[in-house]
Amino acid sequence: MSSGCDCEDWGPLQAEPELSHVTLGNSQDEKTKMSQIPPINTMKSRMEAAQHMKDEEKLYKHEGIIYSSILSPPETLDKLKELQAREDDVILVAYPKCGFNWMVAVLRKIMNAASGRDEKPPERPPLVEFLPPMAQEQLSEMPSRRLLGTHLHPDFIPSSFFTKKPKILVVFRNPKDTLVSYYHFMNKNPVLPNAESWDKFFSDFMSGEVAWGSYFDHALAWEERLDDPNNLPDGVKKISEFFDLPLTDEQVESIAGLSTFSAMLENSQKSHGNLGNIFFRKGEVGDWRNHFSDAQSKQMDELYKSKLSGTKLAEQLKYDLYCL
């Protein structure tokens, strides 16, 4: 999704487009019940734990994919296979640094506006692979509709996400700007090891040897499920209709205005506390030009062409416009 302002070129793409007709719970009991599902290991405590770990201890491989040992240890990923989705779940998927936190904020605004509520966001992001086994079990106690998210490749998403046929929104961003944001994220987030150098991280990203695996494998796995609105108000309206969350035209415009990157950045200390400067950096299309050498740019162009040229996703990413 892109707007005429300073948002990055994130395209929300929808998967498993099954229609569901449900309404959000509106009772005080449900709101209380929702608030009683606490983040068992909050991001703050995990960051504190990371300070006592060596960089080489912060990542590990699980079924061939690199993950954070602090955020997604083996017992968490193994338990995740049992997680039961619901048909009315609101599910968000994005590769790291492709606009996940931004879209979470957009979805919460839509869900609050459609329900008439004004719920504060929970402390943790709704990434299921960050939930310890006990927290995963507590998900069954949460009232509908639940907002869940993941960075996972579809091969590693709980099977119920497909068998129960909830609606899934997938967000993408061009690979050059994704790589740059990911590089800075590695160097700012204490739960991840520092990138050794730009050239080393570039090489690791190109080969898929980064946390959550290959950008291109992730993109190709979702490529066939596309439907991309091309501006922010249209995108908000499209998303609300996709998830059966009715909004008035005034609500659409209000949410779009509050969802530009500049608005999110300005509010990041309130929405994410001390993590705001980690999750929101520039929101700038084309920042890759400040990092890539000519040789690296050509290498990315060749890999992109070999992996995604001619796909529907390639049309939506507008690679020629933003990356050449």
As a whole number of angstroms, the distance between CA 171 and CA 190 comes to: 25
Q: Which member of 151, 153, 218, 272 is catalytic?
A: 151
Is the distance from CB of 116 to CB of 26 less than 8 angstroms?
Answer: yes
Q: What is the bridge-based pairing of β-strands 167-173 and 10-15?
A: antiparallel
Q: 35 and 311 in contact (C-beta within 8 Å)?
A: no
Sheet holding 10-15, edge to edge: 10-15, 167-173, 90-94, 147-150
| SS3 state at 157 | coil
Is 151 known to be catalytic?
yes
Helix boundaries (H) for 68-99: 74-80
Mention every residue, 6+ apart, whose C-beta is less than 8 A from residue 221: 153, 154, 155
Beta bridge partners of 59: 68
d(CA 226, CA 316): 9
3-state secondary structure of 70: coil
Asked whether 183 and 201 are in contact (CB, 8 A), the reply is yes
Contacts 24+ apart (CB under 8 A), 191-198: 191/43, 191/46, 191/47, 191/50, 191/58, 191/68, 191/70, 191/71, 192/58, 192/59, 192/68, 193/55, 193/56, 193/58, 193/59, 194/55, 198/291
The tokens for 236 are: 């908000």
* The residue type at 230: N
Termini Cα distance of the chain: 19
Residues acting as catalytic residues: 151
